[in-house]
């Protein structure tokens, strides 16, 4: 008699064999039947999205696919040592470990993610391997590292001297309170900027075939508790893509995004007919309505793109912006509208 454990094992082995056979894809990717050629476009969160978009555009502009574009694009901030919130050079957790979260998703619902991954410069590429080479969606911690090493990724020290110095500074007070509204920046508006301690890159692309994909990668909140995982590697929270509707990603205090299944909500609101910006606004308002007082001092921003390549964003606090790149312009940075007009300090 097959017991439950054997049944599960057999099912997983079966799943894994068939994943290998069909390359980890769930089904033929939905491109829009009868759709005319779509203009390719890539959007991503924050000003560091400009350089990331340009790397993605090197793929998209040549007719490459959206999935390759988003993976290539977000690798740029992952390798940027001056960026202290994504990849190598990211600020560590409370105990001095750099732990990374990332997810990637394709138009057909295929997805992969890693959480609390240490020592690997490109968590987004490990997430893609999870998607394409395993029957699973999310690998965490030690197991994610083991998988990455088995896949040929190189183990390295991600804690740069600069990030370590900042950590030592923080330890003098060791105030464990995620810095509020730390993403507020001055994009020429005259409002004060703030320390950048937790920005994520979320990137959404549509290729010339009308196919969507998204990626999201971060070192998470600086000085977080060891083992803390944010929204970025949680499919439906930090990232969601549905080829029939659109895609969404988020930045900001991940706990609030997870509590509201934020990116899934944005996509579902677009499915009901809202524009990308309207959908992002309503998802932000869900958080604000539930957390009226707390929302005054925290930041969450959503960025969305629909299946026609139209993009929009909305944030709780002033200061969020997103970068847009297409055949017309490769370095646009658009300030997002927000609930609160002035920065909190």
Residues that are catalytic: 200
Interaction mask 161-200, ligand SD4, x per CB under 6 A? ----------------------x--------------xxx
Residue 275 tokens, joined: 């524009």
Which is closer to ligand SD4, CB of 160 or CB of 196? 196
Cα atoms found within 13 Å of the Cα of residue 186, Cβ hemisphere only: 7
Which is closer to ligand SD4, CB of 199 or CB of 326? 199
Q: Which stretch binds ligand SD4 (CB under 6 A): 5-13, 226-234, 271-279, 331-339?
A: 226-234
H helices, E strands: number in the chain:
9, 13
* Residues annotated in a binding site for substrate: 228-231, 251-254
242 part of the interface to ligand SD4, by CB under 6 A = no
Instruction: Report the run of H or E that residue 111 belongs to, with start and end.
Output: strand 111-117
232 part of the interface to ligand SD4, by CB under 6 A = yes
Sign of the Cα pseudo-torsion (308, 268, 235, 318, in order): positive
103 part of the interface to ligand SD4, by CB under 6 A = no
252 part of the interface to ligand SD4, by CB under 6 A = yes
Which is closer to ligand SD4, CB of 24 or CB of 252? 252
Task: Report yes or no: 93 and 99 within 8 Å, Cβ to Cβ.
Answer: yes
Cα separation, 328 vs 82, whole angstroms: 29
DSSP state of 235: B
> Distance between terminal CA atoms of the chain?
65
Residue in 99, 251, 260, 295 binding ligand SD4, rule: CB under 6 A = 251
254 part of the interface to ligand SD4, by CB under 6 A = yes
110 part of the interface to ligand SD4, by CB under 6 A = no
Min separation Cβ 221 and ligand SD4, Å: 5
262 part of the interface to ligand SD4, by CB under 6 A = no
Strands 337-338 and 311-315, by their bridges, are parallel
83 part of the interface to ligand SD4, by CB under 6 A = no
Chain center to CA of 114: 11
230 part of the interface to ligand SD4, by CB under 6 A = yes
Which is closer to ligand SD4, CB of 77 or CB of 252? 252
DSSP state of 297: G
Render the burial of 184-223: b for 16+ CB within 10 Å, e for the rest. bbebeeebeebebbbbbbbbbbbbbbbbbbbbbbbbbbbb
DSSP state of 60: H
80 part of the interface to ligand SD4, by CB under 6 A = no
263 part of the interface to ligand SD4, by CB under 6 A = no
- Binding interface with ligand SD4 (CB under 6 A): 183, 198-200, 218, 220-221, 230-232, 251-254
């Amino acid at each position: 008699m097959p017991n439950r454990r054997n049944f599960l094992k057999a099912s997983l082995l079966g799943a894994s064999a068939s994943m290998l056979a069909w390359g980890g894809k769930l089904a033929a990717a939905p491109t829009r039947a009868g759709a005319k050629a779509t203009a390719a476009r890539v959007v991503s969160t924050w000003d560091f999205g400009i350089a990331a978009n340009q790397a993605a555009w090197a793929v998209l502009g040549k007719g490459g696919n959206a999935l390759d574009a988003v993976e290539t694009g977000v690798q740029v901030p992952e390798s940027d040592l001056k960026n202290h919130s994504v990849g190598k050079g990211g600020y560590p957790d409370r105990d001095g470990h750099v732990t990374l979260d990332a997810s990637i998703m394709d138009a057909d619902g295929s997805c992969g993610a890693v959480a609390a991954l240490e020592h690997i410069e490109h968590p987004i590429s490990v997430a893609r391997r999870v998607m394409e080479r395993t029957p699973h969606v999310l690998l965490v911690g030690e197991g994610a590292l083991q998988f990455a090493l088995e896949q040929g990724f190189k183990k390295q020290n991600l804690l740069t001297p600069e990030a370590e110095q900042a950590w030592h500074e923080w330890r003098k007070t060791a105030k464990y309170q995620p810095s509020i509204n730390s993403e507020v920046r001055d994009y020429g508006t005259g409002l004060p900027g703030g320390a950048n301690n937790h920005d994520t890159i979320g990137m959404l692309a549509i290729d010339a075939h009308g196919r969507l994909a998204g990626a999201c990668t971060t070192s998470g909140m600086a000085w977080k508790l060891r083992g803390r995982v944010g929204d970025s590697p949680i499919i439906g929270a930090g990232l969601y893509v549905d080829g029939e509707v659109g895609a969404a990603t988020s930045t900001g205090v991940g706990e609030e995004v997870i509590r509201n299944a934020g990116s899934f909500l944005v996509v579902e609101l677009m499915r009901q007919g809202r524009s990308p910006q309207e959908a992002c606004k309503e998802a932000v308002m869900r958080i604000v309505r539930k957390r009226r007082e707390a929302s005054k001092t925290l930041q969450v921003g959503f960025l969305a793109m629909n299946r026609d390549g139209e993009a929009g964003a909305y944030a709780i606090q002033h200061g969020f912006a997103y970068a847009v790149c297409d055949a017309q312009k490769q370095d646009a940075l658009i300030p997002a509208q927000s609930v609160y007009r002035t920065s909190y300090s």
